[in-house]
Amino acid sequence: MEKIAFWNNKGGTGKTSLSFQIICEYARENPKKRIFVMDVCPQANLSELLLGGLHQGGSDNLLKRQGATPRATIGGYFQLRLPSPYTLPAFVASDFITKPSEYNHFIPSNIDLLCGDPLLELQSNAISTLANTQIPGTNTWVAIIDWLSDFILQLDGVYDVVFFDANPSFSIYTQIALSASDKIMLPVMADDSSRRAIQNAFSLIYGLKLPSEIYTQYAFAEKLKAASRPLPKVHMILKNRITQYMGPASAYATVLNSIDSDVESLLINNPDIFTFKDIKNGVINIRDFQTTGVVSHARGCPFYFLSSGRLDLLGQRVQVKEEYRLNCIENIQEVVSKSL
């Protein structure tokens, strides 16, 4: 079972919209493969897209799953774990799983979902406290960090690939998601803050360039290594909305080149943290989806299913150009062919 996380510790990089399109396209191209999506984000935006988007009541459908018994979300599963955090309770994973195609006919039927949940934010402090509790003979941090791995273990043989949409932070629930993954898809933008975010991401996950050795013993990487747990590897860097930054006078060209230089340096000095060996195999440019993306996401409809022309969007007529739609499809298919 392959396990892939979409993550960047900076918000606004298009992580959720990219994960929605990539996951759906992969499912469409591989109808015989079973795909499991874990929305590890309190905003639960990916869940809302898969369950119908704004146009098809995705938010209301998510509320229905939150109101199920047991609560059919990641928050519901974590709620089950809180009373006895260091031992695995009896549970049935399927009780928490949703089939998006039952709510949204645009979504391939081979995708299943563990919905996101705002309850994660309320649970975060409790989970962090439990992870740092000192109990002789028990590695409490590892017991907590394995929560999603425990869930996936019950599904061994059921799914071919698991996708995580992780929160743009490095909170405890994000660490739980990343520790359960094998590979990371890292979306970035062509600005200085994204460049710094990449540097921060490698510090947070791999403990690179920490300001002092004092922090090393507390680093995520060191804790996983001490517990003989493998670190996820960076699998693809997605330069998102690249068409916004193109042009001979663009000041962003320098930042884009700097991002490449940073990654090349890391490839030389730390090749073991990547699944690729050179930039051309590990970095993909993603165009700006523009109106096509807005309509696609509002409708909870992947690009390949979206019609072109003038479409109704919450009472407004919006133009989707076929040329732009086809360009978006081609771009997402390129990502899928290179990364999955």
- Residue 246 — pLDDT band, cuts 50, 70, 90? low
Q: Which helix (H) or strand (E) holds 339?
A: helix 322-339
CB 339 within 8 A of CB 282: no
Residue corresponding to tokens 């059919």: 72
Integer CA distances (angstroms), 292 to 6, 19, 189, 195, 296, in order: 22, 16, 19, 27, 6
CA–CA gap between residue 340 and residue 329 (Å, rounded): 16
- Return the closest-CA partner of residue 178 out of 1, 2, 5: 5
Is residue 243 predicted with pLDDT exceeding 70? no
Question: Strands, DSSP E only, in 88-149?
Answer: 111-114
How many domains is the chain built from? 1
Exposure on the CB side of residue 98, measured as CA atoms within 13 A:
36
Q: Averaged over 1-27, what is the pLDDT? A: 92
Question: Strands, DSSP E only, in 167-322?
Answer: 183-188, 233-239, 283-285, 309-313, 316-320
Residue corresponding to tokens 């007529």: 317
Distance of alpha carbon 267 from the chain centroid: 23
Task: Look up the domain containing 48 and give its range.
Answer: 2-339
Summarised one tens digit per residue, pLDDT across range 127-178 is: 999 999 999 989 999 999 999 999 999 999 999 999 999 998 899 999 999 9
Summarised one tens digit per residue, pLDDT across range 86-114 is: 999 999 999 999 999 999 999 999 999 99
What's the CA angle centered on 62, arms 60 and 65, to 5 degrees? 115
Integer CA distances (angstroms), 261 to 237, 254, 283, 284, in order: 13, 10, 12, 15
Q: Which helix (H) or strand (E) holds 40?
A: strand 35-40
249-259 burial string, b = 16+ CB within 10 Å, else e?
Answer: eeebeebbeeb
**Which one-letter amino acid corresponds to residue 113?**
L
pTM for the whole structure: 0.93
For residue 212, the domain's CATH number is: 3.40.50.300
CA–CA gap between residue 122 and residue 232 (Å, rounded): 27
Exposure on the CB side of residue 51, measured as CA atoms within 13 A:
25
Q: What is the pLDDT of residue 249?
A: 43
CA–CA gap between residue 188 and residue 18 (Å, rounded): 11
- Residue 201 — pLDDT band, cuts 50, 70, 90? confident
Q: What end-to-end distance do the CA atoms of the chain give, in Å? A: 12
**Percentage with pLDDT > 70 across the chain:** 92
**Which one-letter amino acid corresponds to residue 338?**
K
